[in-house]
Amino acid sequence: MDQNGLWRCEDAAVVSQQKSGPDWYRLTLRAPAIAPLVQAGQFVQVRVHPDGWIGSDPLLRRPLSVCTVHQDELTLIYRVVGRGSFILSQRQAGEGINLLGPLGRPFPLTAAEQCPLFLVGGGLGIPPLALAAKQTPGRRRTAILGARSKSYLAGAEEVAATGIPVLVITEDGSSGSTGRVTDLLAKHLGPGDQVWACGPDAMLMAVSALCDRTQASCWLSIERPMACGFGVCIGCTVARQRGGFAKTCVDGPVFRSTEVNLLG
Amino acid sequence: MGEVDLNIAVAGIPINNPVWTASGCCNYGRELGTLYPLRELGAIVVKGTSLDPWEGNPGRRVAETPSGMLNAIGLQNPGVEHLLRVELPWLEQQGATVVVNVVGHTVAEYVAVIQRLAEAGPTSVAAIELNISCPNVREGGIEFGRDPSAAAEVTRAAARVTPWPLFVKLSPNVSDIIPFARAVAEAGADALTLINTLVGMDIDLASGRPVLGNTTGGLSGPAILPVALRMVWDVTHAVRIPVVGVGGIRSGDDAVRFLLAGAQAVQVGTAIFQDPWAPIRIRDGIEAYLRAHGHRSLRSLVDAVRHRLDG
């Protein structure tokens, strides 16, 4: 935790919440203590019940990556997958939600590299790339965004709003070209380029393999079931290639692709 | 309205309040230490410590359950040398009261960890907590916690070498916990910690397979509080050595229930994951309860309960 600097706990106010796709929501919160600290790739631990609720179920917070930050507001995009995210989806403007964050290791924003940077996102892996695009103004960036169909391109609007070139691909061809993100990436990626990817494990492994073949460097933002989110429970581990386990919450969620073994 | 005195000594360890963090729920304190001074905790029970580093379990390690969670971490820890070289000097600088939770595959390993600590003699260590109850490590831990004579054997061996008071953390995964409490008390334990997690599991509907990589895991959180409370009650009515209560505590009122059942201190674990300030809140909640019930000190409540138990 100490290597990642500041984290705060804050009762954030719901500014807006909209259902924006078949199963995903866009939640904007006023969080003046946390929002200005967030670096792309970091997440917040969200209590799904409103402030003042004293029940015990669901017990844990939900880790959600930050999609965009505007002054003291931050936007989270999440999918309803179970009870916790369903309860979160019921929160309305004006209610308070407790946040802990920002947490985790961000994308390597401070690296002074001049090589082309590809931001590659799949489905619910797209949202953190909007903040990544915003926080890398000096770099030559291209976003490659994919999903099974148009309505699952969660956060693609936010990426496009940063003004960087966006290439879209869907498995059913309902938006952009037809296929998977690696099909597009393979056409544009060259030796020495850099890729930051976020999405399901299968996509991340395919992107990582393509980067290896192309001699491009690759960073992956991964997702694992988490309890605390700040390093104490050691529950969200991912296997390290050199042996042992890393904590997704504080050693990640962004890892160099050569650091982790997603199948381990 | 005067101050309520929360000082108490448990098995000879003076602590400034009865709320400790439970092993495996605050790592080595560095994360919580960025939020508040660790001196605010009655004591910090550090991650289970083995002789050599342990990698922990592969696959998924945590799953949420109704009012609780399952874990199968597998006692991942960097070993006693790391604790001595890196963590204890830092904890000492923080002024923390440290309890070292000790794990091993064999009696000899438990003994070796304690001997190594004793040899180095870190001044921040106040007590040893023997973990004979981790449900997620087959060849160690729980093997000693499932048979009273094995529990007594490892306790006796540890008691011989420890220069610090010896706490033994018992498993709830037994048909009757009292014979275990008696066996380890007779073997030289100075105090008991109850309870560790309850063995449970979850199954994924899509794959039809167990959710956790280890198949089963330890259930913790508010769901287990009534079980823990009952076991603390049973044990404080059966043995005289002090008991530290742990299991699902997330408020001052929860903690007071354990004190009323005869515990002299409590540990807070899973509640930290949701609220890292939980131990502080719980301490303040105990203080508020004592004040509202006319106790000038924690000692006065603990003595009143002791009197009832003896009577």
For residues A78 and A57, the answer to whether their CB atoms sit within 8 Å is: no
The token pair that represents B46 in the structure block: 């550090």
H or E element in which residue B267 lies: strand B265-268
Residue A242 CB-density burial (10 A; 0-12 exposed, 13-18 middle, 19+ buried): exposed
Q: Which residues pair with A11 in a beta bridge?
A: A98
Cα(A200)–Cα(B259) distance, rounded to whole angstroms? 47
* pLDDT (0 to 100) of residue A5: 62
Q: CA A181 to CA A185: how far, in whole Å? A: 6
B203: nearest Cα among B75, B70, B74, B57 = B70
B133 pLDDT tier (thresholds 50, 70, 90): confident
Across the interface, of A59, A61, A244, the residue whose CB is closest to B55 is A244
Average pLDDT over residues B109-123: 94
Hey, are the CB atoms on A245 and B62 less than 8 Å from each other? Answer: no
Task: Pull the structure tokens for residue B158.
Answer: 């540890």
Q: Is the pLDDT of residue A23 over 80?
A: yes
Q: What is the mean predicted confidence (pLDDT) over A11-21? A: 97
Q: Where do the H-state alpha helices sit in chain A?
A: 83-89, 127-134, 156-161, 181-188, 201-214
* pLDDT tops 90 at residue A229: yes
Element spanning B9, H or E: strand B8-10
Per-residue pLDDT tens digits for A183-200: 999 999 999 999 999 999
Answer yes or no: are the C-beta atoms of A197 and A221 closer than 8 Å: yes
Name the token pair of B141: 């831990």
Average pLDDT over residues A257-264: 94
> With the CA atoms of A232, B103, B267 and B300 taken in that order, what torsion angle do they form, in degrees rounded to the nearest 10?
-150
Classify strands A194-198 and A217-221 as parallel, antiparallel or unpaired.
parallel
> Given CB atoms, is A103 within the 8 Å cutoff of chain B?
no
Q: Is the CB of residue A71 less than 8 Å away from at least one CB of chain B?
A: no
For residue B265, what are the β-bridge partners?
B244
Looking at the annotation, which residues of B are catalytic?
Answer: 134
- Calpha distance A98→A46 (Å, rounded): 6
Q: What is the pLDDT of residue A126?
A: 98
Q: What is the mean pLDDT of residues B70-79?
A: 95
Q: Name the closest residue on chain A to residue B73, using Cα atoms.
A: A235
Lookup: tokens for A33: 């203590």
Between A3-17, B92-106, B194-208, the lowest mean confidence (pLDDT) is in A3-17
Q: In sequence order, what E strands does chain A have?
A: 8-19, 24-30, 43-50, 62-70, 73-79, 96-103, 117-122, 141-147, 166-170, 177-178, 194-198, 217-221, 237-240, 245-247, 254-256, 260-261
Region A116-135: what's the mean pLDDT? 97
Amino acid letter for position A43:
F
CA distance B86 to chain A (A): 14
Average pLDDT over residues B31-44: 96
| ipTM for this prediction | 0.93
With CA atoms as reference, report the closest residue to B259 among B240, B233, B284: B233
What is the pLDDT confidence band of residue A4, given thresholds at 50, 70 and 90? Answer: very low
Residues in A closer than 8 angstroms to B47, CB to CB, are 234
- CA–CA gap between residue A64 and residue A46 (Å, rounded): 7
Query: Which residues are registered as beta bridge partners of A197?
Result: A120, A220
Each residue's pLDDT tens digit, A143-173: 999 999 999 999 999 999 999 999 999 999 9
Distance (Å) from the alpha carbon of A54 to chain B's nearest alpha carbon: 10
CA gap B137, B77 in Å, rounded: 13
Alpha-carbon gap: A243 to the closest alpha carbon of chain B (Å): 9
Say what the pLDDT of residue A3 is: 41
Amino acid (one-letter) located at B250: R
Q: CA B56, CA B76: separation in Å to the nearest integer?
A: 4
Answer whether residue B35 shows pLDDT above 50: yes
Per the CB < 8 A criterion, the answer to whether A210 and A120 are in contact is: no
Q: Across all residues in chain A, what is the average pLDDT?
A: 95
Residues of B with CB under 8 A from a CB of A: 24-27, 30-32, 34, 47, 55-56, 58, 60-64, 66-69, 71, 73, 76, 221-223, 250-251, 270, 272-274, 276-277
Count of other CB atoms within 10 angstroms of residue B139: 9
Residue pLDDT, tens place only, B142-175: 667 788 999 999 999 999 999 999 999 999 999 9
